[in-house]
Amino acid sequence: MVQLSWLFESVGNCAEYKQLLSHALNLQREQGSDLQVARTLRYLSDANRLLGLYKEGVRQAREALEIHLQVSDAVEQADCLNDLAWLLYTDKQLAASEEAASRAIDLLPELEKGGDFLVCQCHRILGKMYRSKGEREKAIGHFEVALGIASSSNWHNELVGIHYSLAKFFSKEGRFDDANSHVQQAKLHVANNTYSVGLTTELQARFWYTVDHLA
């Protein structure tokens, strides 16, 4: 049932994605499998994020985190904290988002593998969070750390997202040469990802509109 839910998520049917996960969660609770419950709660928190139900997603991510804290699983804790940071950010709980991302980073030295991707994700969300708070230097610093990690591993989707954020950031500041540079860099990493193509096309359109509007 969980695997079937992933197929619905992959084609954009988030309502069915959530419904199947909810059924699976009920069965797992009956079976008493705490680890499986925690993992399904994480997937449900993602489904609620996609559906815009951020507070429900936050509750589920926190419940999953509590389970992983009880079994002292650093990898799963870091994953939960990363998910929680993104949910809190989208729910405009910036201080809580910063705390969750920072806690995840503190756990990362304990991870034997997969740590770099989580570090990249955490620095991305911290960059977005500080940008929202108007703390310019901190925002740029975190985006640059994330960019360095993603570039070294050639993670195209992460690179598109980071360049997208930096382009919007510099465009808002009126630094149009820097903004355009990040627009062009983002376009280099779209690969065959339809979502990334749409994202960078929208970004380019926004940039041209802003420049033309201010000319």
**What are the sequence ranges of the domains in the chain?**
2-153
Task: Give residue 115's pLDDT.
Answer: 78
State the pLDDT at residue 117.
87
Residue 165: pLDDT band by 50, 70, 90 thresholds?
A: very high
pTM over 0.85: no
pLDDT: which is higher, 213 or 168: 168
Class of the CATH-defined domain 2-153: mainly alpha
| Euclidean distance between CA atoms 128 and 98, whole angstroms | 10
Residue 118: band (very low, low, confident or very high) from pLDDT cuts 50, 70, 90: confident
- pLDDT, tens digit, 9 for 90 and up, residues 178-202: 988 998 998 888 877 787 888 888 8
pLDDT category at 37 given cuts 50, 70, 90 is: very high
Torsion angle of C-alpha atoms 79, 82, 84, 89, degrees rounded to 10:
-160
